[in-house]
Structures are given as C-alpha cells and as structure tokens.
Amino acid sequence: MTDLDVIVPAVIDDPTRPSGGNTYDRRVLAGLADLGWAVREHRVEGAWPQPDAAALAGLATVVAGVPSGGLLLVDGLVASCADSVLVPAAGRLRLVVLVHLALGSTDPAAGPGERRVLAAARAVVTTSDWTRRSLLEAYGLSPSVVHVAAPGVDEAAVSPGTASGGELLCVAAVTPAKGHLDLVAALALVADQPWSCVLAGALTLDLRHVAEVRDRLARVGVADRVRLVGPLAGAALEQAYAAADLLVLPSLAETYGMVVTEALARGIPVVATSVGGVPEALGDTADGRPGLLVPPGDVEALAGALRSWLADPALRDRLRNRALERRRGLAGWHRTAELVSRVLSDVRGEVRDDVRGG
C-alpha cells in the first residue's frame, strides 16, 4: 500500500451543512482506499476559508507531522487560504491540492495567496473542465499540472414522474449564491400553472437570507406551494428525488453542480442556470440537452423555462427521454477515484528536485 496524508475541513461529515465538496471528498477518499492507498485523514478545525491564527497553527502542526517526501493531498477550502503554512512546506513534501472552487473567483483579495499555493503544488486536481480553465486563465499555471476529476454519481432507480410534471425540486443550501430569490420570483410568474416546489438544503448557513426567502415567498403569494425542508440525506433525499418531475438549480455560481447528475441518474430533467460547470454536468445527447439552461440572475428567462416545462407535455416527454439517455452514460465514483489516483501516482513517481543528480 502507498501512504497518503489528506487534510480536509473538520466539517466534512456535518449533517447540518451537506455540500458537494464534502460529498466529493468523502467518496474520493473511500475510493482511494479501495484502490490500495493507505489514507491518513486529518480533519482541521477552523472557519475555512477564513481561518484565524489558531486554525492556521493547527494546520501547521498537521503538516509538520507529514514525513519528508510524503504525499499530501489538501482540500482547496483549506489549502487556498493557507499559503503561509503550505508554501514553506512544499519544498519537503509532495503537495497536491484539490480545488472545488477557486477562492479568488469570489474574493479577489484571496487570489494572490491562492496563486502561491497552487504554484507550489506538484499537481492540482479540479472537479470540472470549467474550473481547470478558470485556474489556468487566472493564475497562469502550467497546463500539465492541472487535472480534472469530475464528480461521479451512484446508480439509482428511475423516478416515475407525474402526469402534470408539476413536482419541482431544488437541492441547494439556502444561501445567496444559490439563487433562491430568483427562483421564488420566477415561481410567482408561473403561479397560474399547477406546481409545487420542495427546497432541500441547509437553512443555517445564512439565517438572514433564509428569512428573506421566507418573507419573499409570503409577499408573492406562493408560500403555501413551496416547502423549505432543510438538508436531506439518505432515504429522505431518495424520496425527494423519487417524487420529483424536474430539478431546478438557479445558482449564480457553480463549479459543477453534482445535483444535476444526481437528478439525471434518476431520469429527471433539469432547468438550471448556465454558470460554471453546470452545462458540463448537464451534458448532451444525440437528440439534445436533457434540460433547459437560462442565464444566471434572469428571472424572466427562468420563469419562461419553467412555463415551457409545465405547459408543454411534448417538451416534457422529449426532455425526459433525453435525461434517460444521459443517465446511461454517467460515470460512477470509482472513475473519479481512479482519475485522482492517477494524478497522485504520477506525483509520487516524480524525481524530486533536491535529489536529482547533477
């Protein structure tokens, strides 16, 4: 077996704040173990990506404990804001960074530190082609260093759907970046159509925003048709997908959109914003996309897509058939783990600069 030290945020398994990044980390680490890696997981406390001195000191202690020449994989939520710890250590370790979302894309002040960390890494793994391109453009990294390991998806039973197509599902933490206020406004514009909507996602990350969403639902008169059910997992999440006709993802920013492939794995079409890696996750079929994409922040376009879905049975049939076709081509998590393993193996096999002859 080959040793691998991995650093992840302490909240990786917090059921109150599920995220695509946490799910990705957990599934990849399990897959790496299945592939023969001896994974030593280190969970670091802190308000990542805004750590205080204590959090950085805790990270430094973990990094110092990794043997010289050791292979170290660090989640980008930690790595991208810890240049003061990781850059000095990169000379004695084989550092690999897993980037879900480039911090510099949402916080320009974080860009210089993130650039230093990624430039010091032996390899960078991203979760979408879009993220890879963004990093190359923003930081001028060598293309040979930045790799893609897209999220996998589990096989699932096909959702039966309903005749009206009116069961809508949005799976996303209720935060400003996920676009719930745009969704509420769009739903108000199609209030004449038969629909109900479930909002499944964390309600504790931004309490003020959650209150604003609830208030807006009441003010536009659709509060009785929209349920905020909090984060769902396991059987409860399966039941939500099984009852859904359409996944709606109105995000303003998204590096991939794992919920898109989770829906497609059940034959559920998607209405989403064309941001980041979402078009990549939605994919294509010989007959066209298994869903509808609209510009982010465009309430009227979102409402138009929802109206088309709700009012046109022939469109629903076409999109559902495409979703079923796309379902057949989705890759599992074993493929994601294999891609990450390949990157790690290549880094492990590199000849270190400080031991080359000459």
pLDDT at residue number 250: 98
pLDDT at residue number 354: 39
Kindly report the backbone phi and psi dihedral angles of residue 2, in degrees, each rounded to the nearest multiple of 5, phi listed first: -110, 130
pLDDT at residue number 19: 86
Q: Helix, strand or coil for residue 269?
A: coil
CATH number of 167-328: 3.40.50.2000
Amino acid of residue 354: D
> Can you give the C-alpha Rg of the chain in angstroms?
21
pLDDT at residue number 289: 98
Considering the chain, tell me which residue range(s) the CATH 3.40.50.2000 domain(s) occupy.
Answer: 2-152+333-355, 167-328
pLDDT at residue number 1: 64
Averaged pLDDT, groups of 10, the chain, 358 residues long: 93 86 96 97 96 98 97 97 98 97 91 98 98 96 97 97 96 97 98 98 96 98 98 96 98 96 98 97 97 98 98 98 97 98 94 37
Superfamily grouping for domain 2-152+333-355: Glycogen Phosphorylase B; (3.40.50.2000)
Record the tokens describing residue 107, joined without a space. 């916080």
CB contact set of 56 (below 8 Å; sequence gap of 6+): 46, 82, 84, 85
| Burial category of 160 from C-beta neighbours within 10 Å (exposed 0-12, middle 13-18, buried 19 and up) | exposed
